[in-house]
Amino acid sequence: MTKAIAVAVLSVCLSFVAGIAVAEKVRDWEDLESAHHHVQEAIHEMDHARAANHYDMAGHGAKAEEHLRAAERELHEAIEAARAAR
């Protein structure tokens, strides 16, 4: 069973790496802006979910929101870099 899980994880990782290797470069920052908007919406929804649960999620809600905010900052930087490269 452990070998099967290891093989499954390895194949997923290799698929991910292969996808990155053949992925087309982003040449249009509007795609990035769309992703940025979705992350901002996710932050808003996460805030509502945390409030509805009285912020009691054993720290996981706060950590998820922290990761979303980091993703939002990185997407903002990516948009600015794509605009500057154009």
Closest to 33 in 3D by CA, of 1, 78, 66: 78
What's phi and psi for 27, nearest 5 deg? Answer: -115, 0
**DSSP notation for 12-69:** HHHHHHHHHHHPPPP--HHHHHHHHHHHHHHHHHHHHHHHHTTT-STTHHHHHHHHHH
What's phi and psi for 61, nearest 5 deg? Answer: -65, -45
- The pLDDT assigned to 52 comes to 87
pLDDT per position as a tens digit, 3-62: 555 545 545 444 544 555 555 555 565 778 888 888 899 889 888 888 888 877 788 888
The structure's pTM equals 0.60
Q: Could you tell me the residue ranges of all domains in the chain?
A: 26-85
